[in-house]
């Protein structure tokens, strides 16, 4: 009996320790409106459009706009614990007598309440109601509620139930992308390709189609972003994985892919050996934590790919081995090479739908490109991570010169740069930015001669200056550190990254060739 009471308690109480709460922008996919059934009636949170009502025409909505202000009054009454009408009377009925209006209101209220009670009971007992499409042109919303005419209250209860079920099945689509959104479009949406973007794409295609690709020219055009259509081949070239000579590319790809799977056959079985089991165990623990809000990376097939890539890299680089944070560096390459074969949203794509040879090619290419990246920053991951220590110290010296107010504020609050900037260097800002922004950032990093090792320092400095106002408003250690470890970039897109890179380039132009400028 006690066990049953405990189970019922947790079912009744949605906000339990460790449970996922409906925070805007923190879930993917968006919250299902039918989740309201998980809450008791008395404590249901008020989400927009969670309790949909009957549809109405636009003309009826237009006639009833004079009474739309009653909706806000109704919400206030609900907050005060008072019963309220679920609709507002249209102005067209104001010519009726007061007695007729009251009778009609009571009739409609009784009908609506009985229908609502039955539907709530069915929703709690049947969670798998078949979803249907609904024509949104048949209803108009005002402040999250549906404004209806009383003439529609005479509809049968079965008709109302069908409409409510249809509307409940509609997803709540956010206006701006979520943190889990991989699409590289801006927060304002996906506008059609402009003339300038089409011209840039044609220029990339022309460069890539030449017998010997001019890598310097390719880097010049890639600095301001690479079009999605040509990003996979461009990244392979800029990372040094593919040769500039077009005729040799297929041969090199075939040889390198065979070489990688030769490593798998030779070494992967040793993951259970005493010497390597700790490395494999740490990799196995870290992979589910990699982008946990993106369904793609929670698929077993994808996690197995990451395990093989990281384990093979670790045993081939004994000086550093596997270090936490390297697992994040695989994801941009994996996503970019996957988009070569996927046209819809990548974050929900089922990896097993691809042919096995295609999956193997994506895995091998991700391994080699990640290896090329890590070759330039391997001192970040060797014993004591001296590369990161030096970069954090350089960041402190740079900030002390370019913004003394921020530097002194850190001292006043006793915040050390290592406490927040270590992760910025170790994960290349991947924990601070949505994945779509990381991909755009890496377009520029690969266009720079030392993008990941040198230019990243100036990007971190520009990123810190981006939050200058918020930093100076924090007056204590805890608040300042919480801000720096959880910067609000959830809605960032290409525009924000472009501004960040422009500021980083300005800082590099001023200080990179004059190091005495930021040394005391």
The arithmetic mean of pLDDT across residues 136-152, rounded, is 41
pLDDT of residue 221: 96
- Kindly state the average pLDDT of the residues 4-29: 45
Q: Quick one: pLDDT at residue 4? A: 54
pLDDT in tens, 53-76: 444 455 554 555 444 344 444 444
Q: Yes or no: say if 347 and 295 are a contact pair by the CB < 8 Å rule.
A: yes
Residue 519's pLDDT is what?
54
198 pLDDT exceeds 60?
yes
Q: How does pLDDT run across 293-303, given as a tens digit for each residue?
A: 899 999 999 99
Contact, 388 vs 284, CB < 8 A? no
Q: What pLDDT, on the 0 to 100 scale, is given for residue 54?
A: 43
Q: For residue range 329-363, what is the model confidence (pLDDT) as tens digits?
A: 999 999 999 999 998 788 899 999 999 999 999 99
Please provide the average confidence, as pLDDT, over all residues in the chain: 76
Rounded mean pLDDT of 165-173? Answer: 43
Q: Which residue has the higher pLDDT, 467 or 46?
A: 467
> Rounded distance, CA 363 to CA 330, Å?
10
Mean of pLDDT values over 220-243: 96
pLDDT at 202 over 70: yes
* Full-model pTM: 0.66
Residues whose CB is less than 8 angstroms from the CB of residue 356 and which lie 6 or more positions away in sequence, other chains included: none
Q: Average pLDDT of 27-38? A: 43
Q: Domains, the chain, ranges and CATH?
A: 248-376 (1.10.8.270), 386-513 (1.10.472.80)
Residue 167: partners with Cβ closer than 8 Å, 6 or more residues away = 33, 49, 52, 53, 55, 134, 139
Does residue 189 sit in helix, strand or coil? strand
Specify the pLDDT at position 93: 38
Q: pLDDT tens digits, residue range 253-265?
A: 999 999 999 999 9
Q: In whole angstroms, what separates CA 179 from the centre of its chain?
A: 2
pLDDT computed for residue 196 by the predictor: 87
Report whether pLDDT(153) > 70.
no
Of 342, 365, 165, nearest to 249 (Cα)?
Answer: 365
CA 336, CA 436: separation in Å to the nearest integer?
10
Q: State the SS3 of 433-498.
A: CCHHHHHHHHHHHHHCCCHHHHHHHHHHHHHHHHCHHHHHHCCCHHHHHHHHHCCCCCCCCHHHHH
| Residue 463: Cβ-neighbour burial (10 angstroms; 0-12, 13-18, 19+) | buried
Average pLDDT over residues 5-16: 49
* pLDDT above 80: residue 12: no
The share of the chain scoring above pLDDT 70, in percent, equals 62
pLDDT at 50 over 60: no
Look at 7-11, 418-422, 460-464 and tell me which has the smallest mean pLDDT: 7-11
CA 56/CA 63 separation, integer angstroms: 11
């Amino acid at each position: 009996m006690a066990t049953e009471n405990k189970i019922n308690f947790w079912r009744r109480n949605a906000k339990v320790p460790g449970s996922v709460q409906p925070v805007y922008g923190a879930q993917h996919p968006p919250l299902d409106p039918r989740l309201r059934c998980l809450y008791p009636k008395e404590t249901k949170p008020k989400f927009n459009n969670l309790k949909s009502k009957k549809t109405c025409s636009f003309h009826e909505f237009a006639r009833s706009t004079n009474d739309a202000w009653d909706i806000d009054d109704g919400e206030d009454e609900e907050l005060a614990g008072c019963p309220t009408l679920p609709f507002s009377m249209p102005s067209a009925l104001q010519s009726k007598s007061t007695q007729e209006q009251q009778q009609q209101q009571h009739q409609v209220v009784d009908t609506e309440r009985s229908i609502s009670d039955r539907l709530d009971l069915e929703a709690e007992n049947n969670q798998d109601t078949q979803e249907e499409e609904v024509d949104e042109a048949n209803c108009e919303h005002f402040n999250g509620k549906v404004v209806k005419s009383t003439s529609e209250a005479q509809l049968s209860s079965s008709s109302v139930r069908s409409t409510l079920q249809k509307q409940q099945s509609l997803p709540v689509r956010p206006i701006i992308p979520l943190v889990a959104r991989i699409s590289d479009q801006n927060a304002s949406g996906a506008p059609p390709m402009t003339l300038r973007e089409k011209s840039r794409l044609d220029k990339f295609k022309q460069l890539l189609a030449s017998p010997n690709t001019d890598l310097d020219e390719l880097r010049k055009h890639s600095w301001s972003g690479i079009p999605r259509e040509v990003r996979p081949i461009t990244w392979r070239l800029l990372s040094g994985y593919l040769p500039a000579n077009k005729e040799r590319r297929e041969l090199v790809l075939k040889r390198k892919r065979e070489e990688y799977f030769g490593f798998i056959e030779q070494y992967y079985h040793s993951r259970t050996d005493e010497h390597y089991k700790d490395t494999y165990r740490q990799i196995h623990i870290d992979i589910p934590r990699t982008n946990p809000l993106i369904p793609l990376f929670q698929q077993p097939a994808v996690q197995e790919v990451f395990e093989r890539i990281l384990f093979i890299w670790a045993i081939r680089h004994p000086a550093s081995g596997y270090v936490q944070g390297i697992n994040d560096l695989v994801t941009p390459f994996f996503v970019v090479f996957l988009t070569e074969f996927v046209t819809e949203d990548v974050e929900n794509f089922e990896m097993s739908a691809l042919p096995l040879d295609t999956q193997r090619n994506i895995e091998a290419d991700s391994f080699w490109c990640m290896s090329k990246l890590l070759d330039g920053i391997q001192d970040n991951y060797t014993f004591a991570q001296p590369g990161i220590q030096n970069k954090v110290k350089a960041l402190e010296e740079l900030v002390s010169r370019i913004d003394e107010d921020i530097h002194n504020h850190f001292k006043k609050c006793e915040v050390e740069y290592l406490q927040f900037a270590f992760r910025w260097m170790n994960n290349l800002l991947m924990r601070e930015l949505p994945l779509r922004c990381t991909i755009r950032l890496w377009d520029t990093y690969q266009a720079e001669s030392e993008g990941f090792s040198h230019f990243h320092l100036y990007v971190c400095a520009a990123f810190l200056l981006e939050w200058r106002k918020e930093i100076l408003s924090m007056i204590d250690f805890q608040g300042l550190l919480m801000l720096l470890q959880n910067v609000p970039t959830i809605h960032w897109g290409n525009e924000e990254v472009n501004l960040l890179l422009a500021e980083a380039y300005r800082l590099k132009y001023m200080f990179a060739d004059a190091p005495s400028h930021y040394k005391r």
